[in-house]
Amino acid sequence: MDALNHPILEIVFFDNPIKSYLIALLVFLATYTILKIFKFVLLKKLKEWAKKSSTRWDDVIVEIVDMIGWPFYMLVSLYIALGFLTVPEIVTAIVKSLLIIVSAFYGIKIVLRIIEELLHIWNERRKEKLDPSLIQMLHTLIKAALWTIAIITVLANLGYDISVLLAGVSITSLAVAFAFQRIMEDLFAYFVIHIDKPFKVGDTVFINGEGGTVKQVGLKSTRIVSLKNGEELVVSNAQLLNSWIHNYGRIYKRRHAFMIGVTYETPVEKLKQIPKMVEEIVKEVGGDKVEFERCVFKSYGDFSLNYEVVFHVDEKDYNKYLKIVEEIYLKIKERFDNEGIEFAYPTQTIFLKSSNGENEERNV
């Protein structure tokens, strides 16, 4: 203590004796050292805990503690040390401003790391995982929003009037939103498609009568390969969500119903055998993938006796489903030909009366 009372230490420079500068320096070094030792010890304990833990959050905490660098510790130490000196207000204000900026910087980094982990956990718990590019885009948008809020908050804490800035940002945002209204609608629809999952890449969908396989879901539009001619259909995401979407990729069992018409000349015994024939064919072709429902003599048509056939196909792939139906159709035709059962087609019977008074029948 006597050393601190030495006359030399009482010499004043810039309104402070040398003794005050030494005390401030000791406080700065002590604070900085304590903070660095605290970080080192804390990190060591946290890493030991992380090795024993099976959760991801302990690793996140280690990352958060580790990401806080020397600028923060130095500015905190400097700000505390300045309390032992008489310095111009501008010096204290500059150090305080730098501390606010650095604190905001590390604060945003910590919040973003936590949000990134929450997004990861949320996506892992979903039955259908989101595309990694979408997760990255969500993270980027959140990052931009947080940095904007941080800059405005820092400026407010530094004493700037942010009302004009907020007004300018609001007007600019409205102008941009109006100019890019359609693009923003499609971008929002892009997020809805990925989160709500009305369909996914590879699904067969029908939209406004047009059918195809989803090839790609982009930021503005979705690309579908047409089932009709194979051309690529480009539909805006917003328009897509405003349409009725028939998603055959989500069908677990496809119901297939059709009519069979046979001629009126078909004998009754053959008519009675048709339901059993069709049932046997459907079960033989489909196996475990096809569930037969019914085949019944449903109606008398203008030129045919009509049977309704209904069965269910357990096949998501549209092309494979069509192959099964095609094979059933061919087998029915083959079986009917072997049994002498004729399919009906539109005919008209005209009765003509000859000159000798006899009736003549002609099929047209």
**What's the pLDDT score for residue 208?**
79
pLDDT for the residue numbered 119: 77
The whole-number pLDDT of residue 223 equals: 87
Alpha-carbon span 27 to 25, nearest angstrom: 5
> Which of 81, 100, 222 is CA-nearest to residue 155?
100
pTM for the model: 0.46
pLDDT of residue 172: 66
List, for residues 184-199, the tens digit of each pLDDT value: 777 777 777 777 778 8
Mapping DSSP to helix (H, G, I), strand (E, B) and coil, where does residue 134 land? helix
| Fold (topology level) of 254-339 | Alpha-Beta Plaits (3.30.70)
Instruction: Please give the C-alpha separations between residue 294 and each of 42, 282, 311, 324, in angstroms, as whole numbers.
Output: 73, 10, 7, 17
- The answer to whether 192-250 and 254-339 have equal CATH topology is no
Q: What is the pLDDT of residue 74?
A: 86
State the Cα–Cα distance between residues 183 and 163, nearest whole angstrom: 29
DSSP 276-343: HHHHHHHHHHHGGGEEEEEEEEEEE-SS-EEEEEEEEE----HHHHHHHHHHHHHHHHHHHHHHTPPB
Model pLDDT, residue 145: 78
Q: DSSP 3-state assignment of 259?
A: strand
Amino acid 292: pLDDT: 94
CATH topology of domain 192-250: SH3 type barrels. (2.30.30)
What pLDDT sits at residue 261? 94
Mean pLDDT by 10 residues, the chain (364 residues): 56 67 83 84 76 72 79 85 79 82 84 81 68 68 78 72 63 60 72 77 82 82 83 84 79 87 93 95 91 94 93 85 93 94 79 57 52
* Domains in the chain: boundaries: 3-162, 192-250, 254-339
pLDDT in the model for residue 328: 95
Tokens at residue 329, please? 């159709």
Amino acid 291: pLDDT: 92
